[in-house]
Amino acid sequence: MSLPTGGRRRQLILSPQAQQGCAAACYHAGDRPPGHPRIVFIDAIELRILHLPLVRFFETSFGRTDERVLILVRVDGEGAVGWGECVADAHPFYSAETVRTAWHILSDYLVPAVLGRQFGHPREVGEALQFVRGHQMAKAALEMGAWDLAAQQAGVPLTRMLGGTRTAIASGVSIGIQPSLEELAERVALERAAGYQRVKIKIKPGWDVEAVSFLRQRFGDFPLMVDANAAYTVATSDRLRALDGFGLTMIEQPLDYDDIRDHATLQRALRTPICLDESITTVNRAEEAIALQACRVINVKPGRVGGHAASVALHDLCARHGIPVWHGGMLETGIGRAHNIHLASLPNFSLPGDIAASRRYFDPDLIDPPIEVRPDGTIPVPDAPGIGVIVVEERVASLTDEVLRLHA
Ligand code: OSB
Ligand code: MG
């Protein structure tokens, strides 16, 4: 295998297995099989790394962030443009992927596998990336860019291509760990006044029972949930059992990221539903979690499962098993956020998601107008073609540290 090094056109020699997988799903430009509609032709891809300061720091059980470092993928085809955003963080704390691993996998493997090819449907783009094991966030960024491109080329909003049924989605907020309980209460009051339909707070051992009990005393009964980001173990799960009496709508990812079995044991001991986030990296893992009754709710993040097609499959699987889903968030810019809104328009997204207004994260956002939440806590699904938002390219350019352009 020859691994490219430079920033110019790259070549990758795929294994026979990978070539076969690709040949089944895609065609070189010009050799379209008769009668096969050509929906996506990808003639150029641009990768960029951007740094964006967050309006306010965001703290979880794995640490505090003041800025988002992210990769944007621009996919060009026949005059149309699609955008994808990679949710990998600078550090391997939420997941094993980082901005640098995603850059490596995108530029050396994924982009060469789709450049200059035409696809009958954007889901085939995801299939053409399956020869790489894992690296869901890198795959999702490219695959989602291709979905936007396909919807732009077809002149329809992405929701229509994904099978969405709602014209607006229910919005909730995720509030990070705060310096004090009083500051936490201030933030909760602010977000509730803005209309958000449910509040999630981040917890960790030492910032859990006290925080929840404080909020219940202050605000009484309102839709409240907690997210531990895998900060507990079976040995410290007494603190989770202590949360069981507060009427939380769910406890998100209390135990380790790859631990389905202990979540099943814990769920048996709790009345409060467990929602899995980090643990669900594939549709297979979700089937396993459902079979073992490790959770009663699942959070869908397209970056975590490899893109829109896998997210739709995960959504459908959960619907068949009576497991409600909601859309998670990864501090996305308006580009990733717009993708999430379209995906969250599918019918089994029956709980408010972590998809909030742009202004909670970035000011200005990379899109203009930014995403706003209406006083009733809903966000309308854009009805323009593709993701249906306007990317401010000058802003993107001015925040870019590194760019790689690849042509067919
Ligand atoms: O666990 O849901 C999570 C942000 C970064 C990494 C992981 C998570 C989160 C959030 C923020 O909870 C959700 C958002 O507002 O985008
Ligand atoms: Mg989470």
CATH code of the domain covering residue 186? 3.20.20.120
> Which-ligand-closest: CA of 355?
1
CA–CA separation, 176 and 250 (whole Å): 17
- Measured from the Cα of 299, ligand 1's closest atom is 2
Shortest-distance Cα residue to atom 14 of ligand 1: 329
pLDDT (tens digit, 0 to 9) for every residue of the chain, 408 residues total? 333 333 333 333 334 334 433 333 333 333 444 444 457 889 999 999 999 999 999 999 999 999 999 999 999 999 999 999 999 999 999 999 999 999 999 999 999 999 999 999 999 999 999 999 999 999 999 999 999 999 999 999 999 999 999 999 999 999 999 999 999 999 999 999 999 999 999 999 999 999 999 999 999 999 999 999 999 999 999 999 999 999 999 999 999 999 999 999 999 999 999 999 999 999 999 999 999 999 999 999 999 999 999 999 999 999 999 999 999 999 999 999 999 999 999 999 999 999 999 999 999 999 999 999 999 999 999 999 999 999 999 999 999 999 999 998
Residue 224 and residue 367 share a domain? yes
For ligand 1, mutation pick of 300, 330, 340, 371 (most atoms within 8 Å of CB): 330
SS (H, E, C) 326-368: EECCCCCCHHHHHHHHHHCCCCCECCCECCCCHHHCCCCCCEC
Q: Which long-range contacts (CB under 8 A, 24 or more apart) does 370-376 make?
A: 370/334, 371/334, 371/337, 371/338, 371/341, 373/171, 373/194, 373/195, 373/196, 374/168, 374/195, 375/194, 375/195, 376/195
Q: What is the CATH number of the domain that holds 51?
A: 3.30.390.10
Give the residue among 408, 389, 407, 399 at the shortest CA–CA distance from 48: 399
Would the CB of 328 count as within 6 Å of ligand 1?
A: yes
204 is catalytic: no
Residue 220 and residue 282 share a domain? yes
- On whether residue 38 sits in a domain, the answer given is yes
Residue 132 DSSP code: S
301 is catalytic: yes
Residue 369 DSSP code: S
Could you tell me the residue range of the domain that residue 83 belongs to?
16-155+394-407
Residue 220 and residue 92 share a domain? no
- On whether residue 1 sits in a domain, the answer given is no
Residue 215 and residue 96 share a domain? no
- Per-residue burial over 24-62, b = 16 or more CB atoms within 10 Å of its CB, e = otherwise: ebbbeeeeeeeeeeebbbbbbbbbbbbebeeeeebbbbb
Domains contained in the chain, number: 2
- On whether residue 295 sits in a domain, the answer given is yes
Residue 131 and residue 244 share a domain? no
> Which-ligand-closest: CA of 357?
1
Residue 175 and residue 134 share a domain? no
Q: Is the whole-model pTM more than 0.85?
A: yes
- On whether residue 10 sits in a domain, the answer given is no
Residue 402 and residue 285 share a domain? no
